[in-house]
Homo-oligomer: A and B are copies of this chain.
């Protein structure tokens, strides 16, 4: 049901510094992309088996802004797993008593694909994103 770890999203207070640090360690680092509709600037750090997405808020209404207020140094924001069938995965999540954030319906995520986020209060304090492949 959940399979490939698509990315680890890390909120960072300084996107340029974070990018430079990962590049210095030999990782492949993209240019910054501003995703206006999601309120975040993102840099993709590519590894042979997965990606890190470095996130920084574009404005104070960004969901990442609140995270950085609580975690000013930055930190892991969420893990995104690919799923083949988002409806089936969402039903299974409900079955085991884990809530989906928002109204429970998929939204279009930052990669243009349907996604849901699980409520971290119901799942080991970890924010998981499921992305339909």
Contacts and interface: CB of A to CB of B under 8 A. Distances in A.
Interface residues of A, number: 41
Interface in A55-109: 71-76, 79, 81, 89, 92-93, 95-96, 98
Nearest to A72: B125
A36 interface: no
Interface in A5-24: 5, 8, 10, 12-13, 18, 20-21, 24
A46 to B, nearest CB: 11
A48 interface: yes
Given A124-B75, A126-B10, A126-B75, A25 B50 contact: no
Contacts of A126: 10, 74-76
A26 interface: yes
What's the number of copies of this chain in the assembled complex? 2
Contacts of A71: 125
Contact of A47 (B4, B27, B47, B125): B4
Nearest to A73: B125
Given A25-B2, A26-B1, A8 B79 contact: yes
Given A1-B26, A2-B27, A81 B21 contact: no
Most central of A13, A18, A47, A98 by chain B CB within 10 Å: A47
